[in-house]
Structure 1
């Protein structure tokens, strides 16, 4: 593309420039010739007019003009002092006077028209160029023909030198233009070549590759726009890679979670089928199968909840916070009593704009996790307060806490801080993932803080006044 543009532009310039030189040369040549002809016609007219008066003067003295040509025409020799002008006088077709006119004159100039018109023409003889003017003298001397020849070789030669200089200058200028144009096109097309090269690198996976940016012209703006596009592509690809990794991790974890209860179910079923056992053994195996089946059911329900929340918009309504908390307390009271865990709450605002059912699920999950972290005699505290004009609900426990490494992953699907405890308690590792999704649908932020041995605090901060 660059060289095609270069050759096309260069050819157009050369054609235009040389046509211009030809036009200038033609105009200059025509002007040179016209000036030479005008000069020749003017001097021919002056000579013939003066010669006519001389003929009258000679005849008035009673002397014939035929024998007086040399003396009469001698006075006009100054015209040929520079050897550029030659004069010839013909009587009929007979030459009666010549001033260094070595070459013969064409017959058409010897016999010009008798109507008083003069002939003027350019002729080349012996590598020289002449302007020839021929005309008859007025009556009664119209038998005489005056031929005037002006040597215009030097003017033509000067014109040729000027023409050659113009073409030489055009050649040099064309060379300079070609170099300048090539450099300009190289600068213009360099970013395009870089874009092409870097685009191939980005397509090959080198998303961090960028164009160099220098200056503040349009090319720099184009490079900045391309780099911005590359950054967006890199960001999108990273997000896609992260999403793909998370999906793969989700599938791997789901397969792992399903394997354990399915293996147990199959084992207990085979145990009942192939081995003769007592009713007590069969009851134990049946209860184990039911427990693992409930675990599978719990996983299925949690996954269904996640899918439902992601695919639908919620409708928020003003809910009395006290009613919401009492419903959560009622759902967990029996389990809290069994584990000897105390649940307390402090409410410093009255209502909350939310989906009551989803908020119930979120609070139940948060308090359940807090109860699992506590030992017997532990305390779980729910506090609803305003912080910087925002409503915040926090759930605190006095359990064993977590490290920062665990805090970074606890909202991931199937992630367990204590895998053995989660399996024993029937947890699917989806509770906090579900809570995170519920928080997002309520335009709220779910944050965690924890210290080993000092418990964990979960805060749900609502945007605006909620």
Structure 2
């Protein structure tokens, strides 16, 4: 939930700062414009009153008696300006019926504010001041004020109301934002929990994909990854189980010949045998050792195929007829041992197939080797290839129907005594089936006892 808290706080604080900045700016601008409007209006009003006062005094005669002149000016001032003004001669206050007193020298010094007015704070009150010099007497000054405290109070009240409204709005928006972000972030939280379960070994778990946004795409990618991991783990488990079974079968296969080898070796070491018996014992030891050597090679080959993925084999276009001629060439001496003939055919002659040539050569050689072992001396073997399949057929002893489904299992042999005498270790067809699977093909066997066997490789 760390990401959720960060997002919520950042968005909420950003909205809070933005909303308050806009609120304070609008409030400040509204008050400023209101004060400026009053300044403009009061300025015109003040100028009108002082203009009338000047006009009135202009028709009077100045007198040498200052006191009398002050009373004349004060009387006219009271009539035109009234209680909102103060009359000064120089810095001396002549008439003031307002509730305020001012440091007049300080006010008059602020000549820059003469046109726009001077804003002062008197206790809790806010006053707008204007002043001007009368033309009559040349020494009379009028100070005019306007109490605008009510405007500030009204805006202070508006500020409090706006602040309360903003707090309420922020609370509402905060709740809405909380739920909105939580709904958005929830798939990521579920993704985190699911990833933890996946790490604990629950490879079958998946997440529902909601919507079509980036998080939904991430969820879909996660599900695909989990599916690939599950497939990979299942494949590894299958390979491990297969190899475990292979090792168990290998241990079983090694036990009998090793026991016999040890027994014959002990006999040769402890007993005096005739030359013929000694040669038989040595021959048996040699045959069994060679069979164990072949068994180890086949085991390494089959184990490597189980660990190999389809993506690791190197497929390329191969001409089938030259490929079969190579098979015939490599099996020539093996065929000559039993005076067998091998006939190959390819339809069409320029047929090509995509394959890993080394692996496919191993497959066909194993099938031919099995056919040689099953055939009688002087027999015949056929290899046929066309667009659909490649087949190897012999005229050997055939396979009983009840054994036909199991002959592709590792170490399974129909006639163990005959198979061992022929040098078989029961891994040939298991290797062939694994190579076929790596090529996306399948093996199919047809056999009849006494008439032979045909192995089909369907591409």
Which TM class, normalised by the smaller chain length? 0.7 to 0.9
Alignment correspondent of 2:165 = 169
Q: Alpha carbons of 1:440 and 1:260: their partners in 2 closer, same or farther (altered >3 Å)?
A: same
Give the Å deviation of 1:232. 1.6
| 1:324/1:360 contact within 8 Å kept | yes
Give the Å deviation of 1:423. 4.3
Give the Å deviation of 1:72. 4.2
Alignment correspondent of 1:37 = 39
Alignment correspondent of 2:259 = 263
Query: Structure 1 residue 239 and structure 2 residue 235: aligned?
Result: yes
Give the Å deviation of 1:223. 0.7
Query: Structure 1 residue 122 and structure 2 residue 119: aligned?
Result: yes
| 1:55/1:65 contact within 8 Å kept | no
Q: Alpha carbons of 1:248 and 1:365: their partners in 2 closer, same or farther (altered >3 Å)?
A: same
Alignment correspondent of 2:294 = 298
Within 2, Cα distance between the matches of 1:301 and 1:362? Answer: 13
CA-to-partner distance for each residue in 1:164-185, whole Å, 9 max, x for gaps?
Answer: 2332333233323433333333
| 2:90/2:141 contact within 8 Å kept | yes
Within 1, Cα distance between the matches of 2:200 and 2:111? Answer: 94
Alignment correspondent of 1:182 = 178
Within 2, Cα distance between the matches of 1:198 and 1:137? Answer: 89
Alignment correspondent of 2:85 = 87
Within 2, Cα distance between the matches of 1:105 and 1:326? Answer: 127
CA-to-partner distance for each residue in 1:39-82, whole Å, 9 max, x for gaps?
Answer: 2222111101011112234559xxx87556687456547xx8xx
Query: Which consecutive residues of structure 2, in runs of 5 or more, have no partner in the other structure?
Result: 63-67
| 1:367/1:380 contact within 8 Å kept | no
Query: Structure 1 residue 390 and structure 2 residue 392: aligned?
Result: no
Alignment correspondent of 1:364 = 368
| 1:109/1:147 contact within 8 Å kept | no
Alignment correspondent of 2:196 = 200
Give the Å deviation of 1:103. 3.1
Query: Structure 1 residue 20 and structure 2 residue 17: aligned?
Result: no
| 1:202/1:209 contact within 8 Å kept | yes
Residue 319 (structure 1) aligned to one of 318, 322, 326: 322
SS at match of 2:84: strand
Give the Å deviation of 1:213. 0.8
Give the Å deviation of 1:268. 1.5
Within 2, Cα distance between the matches of 1:70 and 1:46? Answer: 18
SS at match of 1:319: helix
TM-score by length of 2: 0.75
Alignment correspondent of 2:211 = 215
Within 2, Cα distance between the matches of 1:429 and 1:440? Answer: 19
Q: Alpha carbons of 1:41 and 1:279: their partners in 2 closer, same or farther (altered >3 Å)?
A: same
TM-score by length of 1: 0.75
| 1:400/1:455 contact within 8 Å kept | no
Q: Alpha carbons of 1:230 and 1:300: their partners in 2 closer, same or farther (altered >3 Å)?
A: closer
| 1:87/1:148 contact within 8 Å kept | yes
Instruction: Map residues 409-428 of structure 1 onto 2, 5 A cutoff.
Output: 410=408, 412-416=409-413, 422-423=419-420, 425-428=422-425
Within 2, Cα distance between the matches of 1:440 and 1:101? Answer: 110
Q: Alpha carbons of 1:182 and 1:359: their partners in 2 closer, same or farther (altered >3 Å)?
A: closer
Q: Alpha carbons of 1:358 and 1:132: their partners in 2 closer, same or farther (altered >3 Å)?
A: closer
Query: Structure 1 residue 429 and structure 2 residue 426: aligned?
Result: yes
Within 2, Cα distance between the matches of 1:109 and 1:119? Answer: 16
Within 2, Cα distance between the matches of 1:246 and 1:229? Answer: 25
Give the Å deviation of 1:162. 2.4
SS at match of 1:207: coil
Within 2, Cα distance between the matches of 1:439 and 1:29? Answer: 88
Within 1, Cα distance between the matches of 2:343 and 2:94? Answer: 145
| 1:69/1:96 contact within 8 Å kept | no
Query: Which consecutive residues of structure 1, in runs of 5 or more, have no partner in the other structure?
Result: 338-342
Query: Structure 1 residue 145 and structure 2 residue 149: aligned?
Result: no
Alignment correspondent of 2:65 = none
SS at match of 2:145: strand
Within 2, Cα distance between the matches of 1:304 and 1:112? Answer: 109
Alignment correspondent of 1:155 = 151
Within 2, Cα distance between the matches of 1:396 and 1:13? Answer: 85
Give the Å deviation of 1:413. 3.9
Aligned residues: 435
Within 2, Cα distance between the matches of 1:324 and 1:113? Answer: 116
Within 2, Cα distance between the matches of 1:438 and 1:74? Answer: 121
Give the Å deviation of 1:125. 4.1
Query: Structure 1 residue 248 and structure 2 residue 252: aligned?
Result: no
Within 2, Cα distance between the matches of 1:295 and 1:327? Answer: 21
| 1:402/1:456 contact within 8 Å kept | no
Within 2, Cα distance between the matches of 1:322 and 1:88? Answer: 129
Give the Å deviation of 1:369. 6.4
Q: Alpha carbons of 1:235 and 1:417: their partners in 2 closer, same or farther (altered >3 Å)?
A: farther
Residue 132 (structure 2) aligned to one of 124, 130, 135: 135
